[in-house]
Amino acid sequence: MELAGTADKGRGAAGYFRLMARTFFLLTILLGLTAASRADAVLGATGYKVAGDATKVRIVLTFDRKPDVKWFLLRGPNRLVVDLPRTRFALSAKDVKPRGLVRAVRFGDQGKGSRLILTGKGPFAVDKLDVLKNDDGNGYRIAIDMSAASEREFDEALANQSLTTGSTVSADKGGRVGTGPISAPGHRFTVVVDPGHGGVDGGAESASGTVEKDVTLAFATELRDKLAAVGRYEVY
């Protein structure tokens, strides 16, 4: 009886370990599928090509699937900004070297999305920006046609952009100031200072090489210190 009981216990332990092994195996598969689905959710940029000269250039960026694209222009320096979903850039450094009327190419993650920035050697026009299915049926591409333009033409494109997107429309500053009671006596406000820029887009650049992100960060740091010295605010 004792030997039989020992055998039963052995079989029970073996069954338990077999169950644990199967559970671990299934969890491994599920975790792998989850990781794969997350990887699939990231857009893949697989190639970059550029052709042209200082007057006209075409840039082609290829993807593993159709990208959702938004683009806009910025000045100081003149640049084209292309916003993308979260993207994994598998691009060759040799391929993305500046060429023609493009003097700098930058790309990277922006947190909730990714961004490609093409900086011109001077003012330019975006003649066309299309999202096209690749001829072989595998993946998609963005084809960007740019040509040299005058400052007036670039300014007109910026003006049309602001009318279309409303990005520069804001309320009168006086209308943003509250007039009623804003806090109880002794209440400490929390002030968050956000300098902006940084990351893949450093903002405008002066003729001497000063970058906007450095100016805004220096100003924000001094503002933080001044507010903290007052003693009435929690400053971040």
pLDDT in tens, the chain (236 residues): 455 555 555 556 666 556 666 665 555 555 554 444 444 579 999 999 999 999 999 999 999 999 999 999 998 889 999 999 999 999 888 888 888 999 999 999 887 899 999 999 999 999 999 999 998 888 999 999 999 999 999 999 998 888 776 444 333 444 444 444 445 556 778 888 888 777 777 777 887 888 888 888 899 889 999 888 888 888 88
Q: Note whether residue 179 is domain-resident.
A: no
**20 and 114 assigned to the same domain:** no
Which of residues 112, 132, 165 is at a domain's end? Answer: 165
Residues 35 and 49 occupy one common structural domain:
no
CB atoms within 10 A of CB 19: 10
The answer to whether position 98 is within a domain reads yes
The predicted pLDDT at position 76 comes to 86
Residue 177 lies in a domain: no
Residue labelled with tokens 């990887």: 39
Q: Is residue 4 part of a domain?
A: yes
Tokens 């993650």 -> residue: 109
d(CA 51, CA 46): 17
For the question of whether the overall pTM of this predicted structure is more than 0.75, the answer is no
6 backbone dihedrals φ, ψ, rounded to 5° = -65, -40
Side chain identity at residue 59, one-letter code: I
The per-residue pLDDT for 208 is 83
Asked whether residue 21 falls in the same domain as residue 132, the answer is no
Cα(154)–Cα(80) distance, integer angstroms: 11
- Which H helix or E strand runs over 2? helix 2-41
Q: In this structure, are 135 and 59 located in the same domain?
A: yes
Domain ranges, residue 34: 1-41
Distance in Å from the first CA to the final CA of the chain: 74
Q: Are residues 161 and 47 in the same domain?
A: yes
Kindly report the CATH number assigned to the domain that includes residue 146: 2.60.40.3500
134 and 31 in a common domain = no
Domain count, the chain: 3
